[in-house]
Amino acid sequence: MPPVTSTQDLQTVVAEHDRGHVVAIDSAYDVDARNTGRDVVVSASYSGVLPARFVADRRPRGAIGLDCGIGPEGAGIAGLWFYEALGIPAATADVTGVHLGDGVDVHRHGRISRVNAVAAACGVTVGMPVADAALLLLTTDPAAQTPSEITRRTVMEEGPDGRAVVCTDSIAFGTPADRDINVLVTAGHTGRSSVPYLRRFSPYGFICSDGGRGRDDSGVAGLAIVEADGLAGACVDARTAMMGDGLSSYRDGVISAVNALAARCGVEIGMPASEAAHRLLHR
C-alpha cells in the first residue's frame, strides 16, 4: 500500500489493519489524539525522555523512534524506559541506516537497535526491520502489567537434572522453583539487603552486580554472608553490565568478585558472566 499523507497534518499512514494504523511522523510532536490506543507511531525524532513525554501523553499502541547514536548516559534512547514504566511497547531504530526527520524513510529502511521489555514481550527483536516491528506492535497486545510486574525471566542454558541458568532483573524476582535447581543471573547489587532474597529462594548458584562496590565493598557484602547457607555466588562489575538488566549481566558482565564456594566451582575474577554461570550450573 502506498503511503497516504493526511492533507490536514504531518502524519503518513504506512500500514493499515483492522486494529489501527502504523503512522509515520517526521517529529515526535506530530502525534495526536487520533493515535490514542489505536496506532503505532514511527517517528524520525530521537527517543529521549523529552519526546517520549509528548508521545506517551497520547498513549499510542506502540512507539518507534531513533537512537540518534545513543550518546552520553544513553540520552538518545532513555525514553524507552519512560515508555516501559507506562506499559507502552517501544523500540529504537539505528540512526545510521535512515534519514533523520523523515518518518517514512525510518519505516522503510530502519532496523531495530534497542527495545524495551514491553516491546520484547510482543516479539520485537534487535535487527528486525522497523516495518516488521511496527506491524508486530500493531497486531500484538502486550500483557496488562503494572510497572512492578515486569520481571522478565529468560532461560539462557539448560543443564543436567532439570537445572538451568535463568536471567531475571532482580534477585527479588526469584521463585520457589529456583530453589536448589537454577543458577540465577540478576542485576541488582549484592549488598546486605540482597541476603534475605538469596536465602528465601536459595538458588543452585547466583550472579548479581557489585553495584559499583560502594564504601567498604558494601556492594558485594552478601557474597560472604550467604556462604554459611551453602550458596555459591559471584558479582559482575557494574561498569560492564547494565544495572537492572539480567540479560546484560549475562551477556556483557565481567566477574569482579566471587565467594569461596563459587571459586571452588572454577569461577574467577575477570571471567565472562556467561562462562561463570555455566561453571556454576555444571559444578
Q: Distance between CA 249 and CA 179 in Å, rounded?
A: 21
Residue 119 · residue 81 · CB < 8 Å: no
Domain coverage including residue 204:
151-281
Please report whether residue 146 resides in a domain. Answer: no
In this structure, the answer to whether residues 127 and 92 fall within a common structural domain is: yes
225 φ/ψ sector (left φ>0, alpha ψ -120 to 50, else beta): alpha
Give the pLDDT band of residue 9 (cuts 50, 70, 90). low
Q: How far are the Cα atoms of 204, 209, 222, 249, 261 from residue 232, in angstroms, in the given order?
A: 7, 14, 11, 17, 5
In this structure, the answer to whether residues 93 and 203 fall within a common structural domain is: no
In this structure, the answer to whether residues 117 and 180 fall within a common structural domain is: no
Give the pLDDT band of residue 147 (cuts 50, 70, 90). low
In this structure, the answer to whether residues 120 and 170 fall within a common structural domain is: no
Domain boundary among 101, 117, 139: 139
In this structure, the answer to whether residues 103 and 220 fall within a common structural domain is: no
In this structure, the answer to whether residues 18 and 104 fall within a common structural domain is: yes
In this structure, the answer to whether residues 180 and 94 fall within a common structural domain is: no
Q: Distance between CA 118 and CA 179 in Å, rounded?
A: 28
In this structure, the answer to whether residues 65 and 8 fall within a common structural domain is: yes
Q: What is the mean pLDDT of the chain?
A: 92
Give the pLDDT band of residue 27 (cuts 50, 70, 90). very high
In this structure, the answer to whether residues 217 and 126 fall within a common structural domain is: no
- What pTM, to 2 d.p., does this model score? 0.72
**Per-residue model confidence as pLDDT tens digits over 103-136:** 999 999 999 999 998 999 899 999 999 999 999 9
In this structure, the answer to whether residues 110 and 164 fall within a common structural domain is: no
Nearest C-alpha neighbor of 119 from the set 90, 93, 140: 90
**Per-residue model confidence as pLDDT tens digits over 222-279:** 999 999 999 999 999 999 999 988 999 999 999 999 999 999 999 999 999 999 999 9
Number of domains in the chain: 2
In this structure, the answer to whether residues 164 and 260 fall within a common structural domain is: yes
Please report whether residue 183 resides in a domain. Answer: yes
pLDDT of the residue at 7: 42
Q: Distance between CA 87 and CA 118 in Å, rounded?
A: 7
Please report whether residue 108 resides in a domain. Answer: yes
**Per-residue model confidence as pLDDT tens digits over 63-115:** 999 999 999 889 999 999 999 989 899 999 999 999 999 999 999 999 999 99
In this structure, the answer to whether residues 116 and 14 fall within a common structural domain is: yes
As a whole number, mean pLDDT of residues 193-201 equals 95
Please report whether residue 99 resides in a domain. Answer: yes
Least confidently predicted of 119-128, 141-150, 161-170, 187-196: 141-150
Please report whether residue 106 resides in a domain. Answer: yes
Q: Distance between CA 245 and CA 186 in Å, rounded?
A: 7
As a whole number, mean pLDDT of residues 172-176 equals 92
